[in-house]
Amino acid sequence: MSDITNQNFFVGAPAVNPVQIALRAGIALALLIVGGVIALVGERLFGGGGALPSEVRVVPFQDWRVICSNAQGGCSLNLDVMRDTGGTLVSIVINDPKPGSTMSVTVPHGVLLDSGLGFSIGEEPMRVRPYETCNVQGCFAFITLDADTLKSLMANMGGQVTLVPANAMPVNIPFSLKGFTDGYAELQRATARRNSFFSFLSR
């Protein structure tokens, strides 16, 4: 009687299908991955254990530095020319490394706006750019980062900003290009990382 019962049991059992097993395992793995991605997105969106929203990372490249801010959601390449007595005399910033974008040059208040801002690289002739506007940081003009300008910035060791203070003669302010090439390359990498979807999960 026992043998017959066991025989009937094994005869009635469904056959094991390897394809179905593999399919179920694949679905389970996919659900785990999706769940992990959703959890990471939730952490980044709602601040659960990720980087602080106000975190600022600064990477120096000789006289230049790349600054990445979670609060602003981007990176920039920066150079500050300081006064001997303290404070910033000229600030140069690139937010977008794409060729054809612009580089902002900010100088203190009190300049003659009609005279514009002079900008030169190495031994090249000075180009004059109009001031766009003034804010609490100072007055600024834009330099277009075309292919020739980028090439000059990378090939030279320094440049010069020329401004005209009110009731005074023009003032030439030299700036350094040491570290610009490496800093610009890092800005390109940082911008590419931040523009990719999965980099958002790893910030």
pLDDT at res. 13: 46
* 84-119 tens-digit pLDDT: 888 899 999 999 999 899 999 999 999 999 999 999
Residue 63 has pLDDT above 90, yes or no: yes
195: pLDDT confidence band, cut at 50, 70 and 90?
Answer: confident
Q: Give 136-189 as a 3 state SS string.
A: CCCEEEEEECCHHHHHHHHHCCEEEEEECECCCCCEEEEEECCCHHHHHHHHHH
How confident is the model over 140-164, as a mean pLDDT?
97
The reported pTM is: 0.71
Residue 35 has pLDDT above 60, yes or no: no
